[in-house]
Amino acid sequence: MYLPQEIIRAKRDGETLTTEQIQYFVRGLHDGSIAESQISAFAMAVYFQDMTLSERVALTEAMRDSGQVLAWQQMKLNGPVLDKHSTGGVGDLVSLMLGPIVACCGGYVPMISGRGLGHTGGTRDKFDAIPGYNTTPSLAKFQQIVADLGVAIIGQTGELAPADARFYATRDISATVESIPLITASILSKKLAAGLDGLVLDVKVGNGAVMRDTAQAKALAQSLVTVANDAGVPTSALLTDMNQPLARSAGNSIEVYEAIEFLKGNIKAPRLAEVTIELAIEMLRVGKIELNAERARDKVQAVLASGAAAERFEQMVAALGGPADILESYPKQMPLAPIAKPLLAASTGIVSAIDTRAVGMAVVALGGGRQHSDDQLDYGVGLDEIVQLGDAVTVGQPLLMIYARTEAAWEQAATRLQAAFTVTDKAPQQTPLCVERIKEQV
């Protein structure tokens, strides 16, 4: 028998916790015997004192084993079970397209997604914006949809890694989102519980990422790859740039809009396309569907060009209770907030810097993200047509569109966002979108 406060004290003082101590604490997360104040204190202790590799593995496996671990053998699938996870950013809607793309290429994607954390958006929140879409189906239904369609994207259920669900919500409001050990355990506990044959991580780096520094982002990627491979799941990671929003939109419904138009071939946002395609290629390689990168690229581009990926997205939405005609009916099904006005540039020049975190926090302040763990989201608010780094603008030209519920909310967002965009006479220093690929254990 352990006392939670003694475990917290030990980690606060820099001691290495035993597997048994970690398992005890995680059981308390699951059964409610650990108070939220103790979860916050433990998270803060880990934030400052870090965890050894053995502690990270123990925490990951304890949270994985707090619920059911899926098995796929009985489904008799004819391809690998694959998934991807992003550490989060602003305008990161890649998962909405990536799951259907990989499914059309022969993979099976049981994607268990999270809510937004801090200034970053959450894939589950985007699907919750679709009327009728059930992000918490039974595991039996989840697995059957994956078997039938090759993809199902849902949120955490009470059956898979339930201890993480409580920890996840507390991290969001306790300023401990950036802890590498906690991120590692949170991501991988859900992924390992899904019974994967392969995993690809999209680790964001930049001023809109959880990890702002390249060295820190690489350390997180290495932690994820090492722990996952040690657990027997072939895993690689891409470091991708988040010094500006990835998509041209940020919000919940508005990002679903963009994903649908992307899949239909009507939006060709270059940065969004590049990250989506590179991650799809990596998933095909990790799953040994296609080891040659160029042939994998051809497969991905073919299912986009044919409309197969768009059709698979619509089938998935319908199978999970959403509208069967979502590709056409989405504007009616997911109306945007009524106050829709552009934010105009105050000066002429080149967009030389974007405070991407501030852009994300503007969405949160509009109601599109959570300031408290139990906040209800306003799915209709958000931003669209966001200018990119290097774009030339003139006075009075729109920097972006703001969708707000009230005039006062629009004004507050406009003030925040005007300060987030720097316009000068100098072009910004461009960084690669895909910074680095991390494959081997460290």
316: CATH: 3.40.1030.10
Residue 194's CB is within 10 A of a number of other CB atoms, namely 24
Number of domains in the chain: 3
Whole-angstrom distance, CA of residue 196 vs CA of residue 285: 14
Phi and psi angles of residue 140, each rounded to the nearest 5 degrees, phi first: -60, -45
Shared domain for 307 and 342, answered yes or no, is: no
Shared domain for 302 and 341, answered yes or no, is: no
Shared domain for 211 and 343, answered yes or no, is: no
**Does the residue 394 lie in any domain?**
yes
Domain at 32, CATH number: 1.20.970.10
Q: Between the CA of residue 112 and those of 9, 180, 188, what are the distances in Å?
A: 33, 20, 11
pLDDT tens string, the chain, 442 residues long: the values are 799 999 999 999 999 999 999 999 999 998 999 999 999 999 999 999 999 999 999 999 999 999 999 999 999 999 999 999 998 899 999 999 999 999 999 999 999 887 776 777 789 999 999 999 999 999 999 999 999 999 999 987 778 888 988 887 788 778 887 788 998 998 899 899 999 999 999 999 999 988 888 998 999 999 999 999 988 899 999 999 999 999 999 999 999 999 999 999 997 789 999 999 999 999 999 999 999 999 999 999 999 999 999 999 999 999 999 999 999 999 999 999 999 999 999 999 999 999 999 999 999 999 998 877 677 899 999 999 999 999 999 999 999 999 999 999 999 999 999 999 999 999 998 889 998 999 855 4
Q: Are 435 and 236 in contact (CB under 8 A)?
A: no
**Does the residue 429 lie in any domain?**
no
**Does the residue 273 lie in any domain?**
yes
Shared domain for 225 and 105, answered yes or no, is: yes
Is the torsion defined by CA of 331, 334, 340, 342 positive or negative?
A: negative
Shared domain for 136 and 231, answered yes or no, is: yes
434-438/235-241 β-pairing: antiparallel
For residue 414, give the 3-state DSSP assignment: helix
**Does the residue 19 lie in any domain?**
yes
Distance between first and last Cα of the chain: 35
The model's pTM is 0.89
Q: Smallest Cα–Cα separation from 409: which of 433, 375, 434, 378?
A: 378
Shared domain for 250 and 386, answered yes or no, is: no
Whole-angstrom distance, CA of residue 130 vs CA of residue 319: 13
Across 224-276, the runs of DSSP E, i.e. the strands, are 235-241, 250-251
Q: Smallest Cα–Cα separation from 39: which of 169, 160, 156, 161?
A: 169
Whole-angstrom distance, CA of residue 160 vs CA of residue 85: 16
Shared domain for 277 and 357, answered yes or no, is: no
Helix H, strand E, coil C: the string for 315-369 is HHHHHCCCCCCHHHHHHHHCCCCCEEEEEECCCCEEEEEECHHHHHHHHHHHHHC
Shared domain for 223 and 294, answered yes or no, is: yes
Query: What pLDDT was estimated at residue 71?
Result: 93
CA 400 to chain centre: 23
**Does the residue 59 lie in any domain?**
no
DSSP state of 380: T
Shared domain for 323 and 345, answered yes or no, is: no
Enclosing H/E stretch for 87:
none
**Does the residue 55 lie in any domain?**
no
Shared domain for 153 and 139, answered yes or no, is: yes
434-438/382-384 β-pairing: unpaired
Whole-angstrom distance, CA of residue 289 vs CA of residue 311: 21
Whole-angstrom distance, CA of residue 188 vs CA of residue 416: 35
Shared domain for 134 and 94, answered yes or no, is: yes
**Does the residue 61 lie in any domain?**
no
Q: Are 334 and 379 in contact (CB under 8 A)?
A: yes
Q: Are 16 and 149 in contact (CB under 8 A)?
A: no
Shared domain for 296 and 409, answered yes or no, is: no
**Does the residue 83 lie in any domain?**
yes
Residue with tokens 């990627």: 221
Query: What pLDDT was estimated at residue 117?
Result: 67
| Residue 120 lies in domain | 73-330+434-438
- Which amino acids are annotated catalytic? 83-86, 123, 171, 186, 190-191
Domain at 407, CATH number: 3.90.1170.30
398-404/82-86 β-pairing: unpaired
